Amino acid sequence: MDRSASASIASFTANPPLYSFPVPSFLAPLKAESFSSLYTTLAILASLLVLEQAVYRYKKRHLPGAAWTIPLIGKFADSMAPSMEAYKRQWDSGALSAVSVFNIFIVMASSNDYARKILNSPSYAEPCLVHSAKQILRPENWVFLTGKNHIEYRRGLNALFTRKALSIYVGIQEAICRKHLTRWLEIQEKNPNSQPIMMTARHLNMETSLGVFCGSHIPEHAANAINDKYWDITQSLELVNFPLALPGTKVYKAIQARKVAMHWLELAAYKSKIAMANGGAPECMLDEWVLSLADPNYKGRKEFSDTEMAMVLFSFLFASQDAMSSGLIYGFQHLADHPEVLAKVREEQDRVRQGNYAKPLNMDMMVQMTYLQAVVKESMRVKPPVLMVPYKATRAFPISDDYTVPANSMVIPSFFNSLHDPEVYPQPEEFLPERWLDPEGSASKNPKNYLVFGSGPHRCIGLEYASMNIALVLATASVMLDWEHDITPQSYLSKIIATVFPKDGCRLTFKPRTLA
């Protein structure tokens, strides 16, 4: 055999093995070059992986959390199927703990002090929601403003949630609520099996929100179109999602849904301006806004385009839809699971309504429902509609004496531990509305722990509206319906999705209430 044209063999081998094949001499340099390129590529990849681990450990320092991060993806698998149990383990590992997902370094804050510090430090951290949020809500939306611009913009919206404004909304809310509760009974009559309530409650909330925001300026078929598309927006705002708006992706579908909603909301703003200019009486939030801008005593910005007004309403819709639906669902579930509490709610309804259950509700009547208010407050404490809100550290954030959150990291305050602190809320897992009736009780005397609506400059602007809406629906349901909870494996929040509640986790059976 011509050894110059064959693969080399060891000198101690007497004869070439049968698997030695001739290799043309002109390929020998290429083989060596390929090996060198492969070696270089592997060396670079290994260096990057080592660097990834070093950076993670440098940022993590002494915080509880995995000692090493899974290369490239980190805790991606856990984030795709989050569970309440896993979150509790993370929160209980330390007041501050660390995790990494796709090389995004995340600091989790589980104590009340650290959660409040994040929420009240706008010079160090700002809400970032999720990666796709700006694509869906639009980057120019007011919710992404910070500092003085945010404060001034928010101040101009406060008039939409005054006692006077809320009084206008009560009638709209009750009329829509009664329509939907009647529909629930009709559906139940046709199908005696228990019904998943999540999407049903979302539909009620959607029509209520659009009715309050836009009144008659938005037609019913438009409200239905927005409702049909809105689930696409919810799915796109999961904590981890494919970020590019390519056709077929969740983000792409959400943007199309937003376009549908914005079209009708802009048209409603246009119609409201015309109606108020012609001397019409205010019948919804848009009308209140237009009138407040025209008030000679109003000192803020006076000109808002139809698009700007629509973006504000769209942000309210986003804020109210998922969280408020979860709060309402758990309200129904808690009352079904605690018939003695439902009985007290009904006693209060009889007293406030003076036995006239057909009488329209008004704001004065809602204020008198103190026990129901305690029920709603306790329901949202036990099962908070929002467990955490992602923030981004805009610069190095010295959150404690011995730890600084690195700039551009996510820092996420959790509300669960604050709302289940046994020193503030004895028997924290128990549903006990009475704890809110004693002004000297630990619950009432520690408002800093009640982070259901957040804290600081980005605290929920519509918290009174949200609480009132849940209370109004439960009040109306308590006099119109009886219901039972069909307990399922998902009834008590084992999985967490964007809406905080499994799509068919809570199943109820309704029937008309029989009055003695």
Residue count (the chain): 516
Bridge-based pairing of strands 481-486 and 403-405 is unpaired
The DSSP line for 352-404 is: HHTT-TTSPP-HHHHHH-HHHHHHHHHHHHHS-S--B--EEESS-EEEETTEE
- What value, to the nearest 5°, has the Cα angle with vertex 110 and ends 107 and 115? 85
Pinpoint the alpha helices (H) of 191-305: 198-214, 220-236, 250-277, 285-294
- What type of residue is 435? R
Separation of alpha carbons 490 and 287, rounded Å = 42
Separation of alpha carbons 501 and 507, rounded Å = 12
The b/e string for 355-394 (b: 16+ C-beta within 10 A; e otherwise) is eeeeeebebebbeebebbbbbbbbbbbbbbbbbbbbbbbb
Its sign, for the CA torsion 166, 169, 170, 171, is: positive
Separation of alpha carbons 401 and 61, rounded Å = 13
From residue 206, alpha-carbon distances to 17, 82, 264 in Å are 77, 26, 14
Pinpoint the alpha helices (H) of 61-132: 76-80, 84-92, 112-119
233-237 contact pairs (CB < 8 A, 24+): 233/136, 233/257, 233/258, 233/318, 234/321, 234/322, 234/498, 234/499, 235/498, 236/132, 236/136, 237/129, 237/130, 237/132, 237/133, 237/136, 237/498
**Structure tokens belonging to residue 247:** 């056709």
Let me know: does 325 contact 198? Beta carbons within 8 Å: yes
**Structure tokens belonging to residue 404:** 């600084």
331 Cβ neighbours under 8 A, 6+ residues apart: 375, 376, 379, 470, 473, 474
460 is in an annotated binding site: yes
**Structure tokens belonging to residue 118:** 């994040």
Let me know: does 239 contact 274? Beta carbons within 8 Å: no
- The 3-state secondary structure of 462-501, one letter per residue: CHHHHHHHHHHHHHHHHHHEEEEEECCCCCCCCECCCCCC
- Which helix (H) or strand (E) segment holds residue 104: the answer is strand 104-109
Separation of alpha carbons 90 and 472, rounded Å = 36
* Strand boundaries in 288-335, DSSP class E: none
Residues annotated as binding site for heme? Answer: 460
Residues annotated as binding site? Answer: 460
